[in-house]
Chain A
Amino acid sequence: MLLGAVTLLLACQLAGEILTRLLDLPVPGPVLGMVFLFLILCVRGRVPEPVERVTGTLLDHLSLLFVPAGVGVVRYAQRIEQEWLAITVSLIGGTVVALAVTAWVAQRLMPPHRGKDAG
């Protein structure tokens, strides 16, 4: 039942939205919804086929879903013009630092790997 799977996703999101408002949490409602769905899957012990299909479809086209909000950047053209240097250096520098530090820490701590494509 695809309709059931769609309803399950929306119900998880709605529960998340309600909880984050009731408890005044700083976490976005859909992120709590993700936790709820994760817990449901852990209890079920598998991903039901309709849930698989609906989530697969959504995630296959995930990047399309950012476009409408991203277009809203036209309203901030002036700010980007003023702060382009800070933004550009932060995006490049911040990403390089995050990649280097995370990979270095993970490589240090990870137990030895015997997988076929380690190396």
Chain B
Amino acid sequence: MAWHDQDSWLTAAFAPKLSTIVVTLLLTLLLPILLHHFIYRRATPTTLPTFLLLGPSGAGKTALLTLAERNQVAATRTSTSPLAVEALLPEGFTPASSHYRSPGDPTFERSRCFLLVDTPGHGKLRHFATAQLADLSNVRGIVFVVDAAAVAEEAGLNEAAGYLHDVLLTLQKRYTGAKTSKGPKEIPVLVAANKEDLFTALPQHLARLELEKAISRIRKSKATGLKDSGVAMGGEEDAMEDEREWLGEGGEGPFEFQQMEEVGTSVTVLGGNVLGSEGSDVKGWFEWIAEHL
């Protein structure tokens, strides 16, 4: 039976039969509906804007995360695995992206949603954070939580500054190593000086100064320190090892957070406290998040 026969399917499809009309009608009516569903199903799981929580162990990252999620702080312990949580910006904060949106707009609610990713801060578990830093496509900002009371002491300051140095260096490398001339998206960093309610805590401007000083020291000792074993032991990144990794602008001057703006990273230091006898004071941090949402 060839296609040009009397009762071939092609002839039937063009013939004024009832079945043909019904099929055509169904097709024309249902196809848009199906298409609509297909497309909208696909569009709904949009990736939320992400904020990354970094910082040394015991700074209060997980506590801040629970505060952002449920508006009250849960008891926390040392984390050993990362955690991503969908959080809503609290009432009274307007995301910068929906500044001109009316509060009645249904999309307003959605624009206040963001994903908060917690990473373990223990020295041996930093690889979770490194993995997160390697892919920053959805990340709108990094919240680096430090314990303002621990920063007042040498050991705590060194740990926090060392970690912050590494994070900033990764961001700088990302900027300088970009392939396109436009450069990658800017990623702001908030240094959240937590536990300001404690008596021994450094106020935010002092914490900033101390961190800057410590980072300049680290930068210097890193430059004069030993090379990594990677070169000598048959590693292939000889070329990369050659250029010394130097955070901020060159020269012997002290490191300042402002220097990071040149490489697309603005650093803000804000104090606050997640826990405390008079409740938590995290307004500044949420304002910062709102500003970058």
Say whether A associates with B: no
Interface on B for A, CB 8 Å cutoff?
none
Interface on A for B, CB 8 Å cutoff?
none
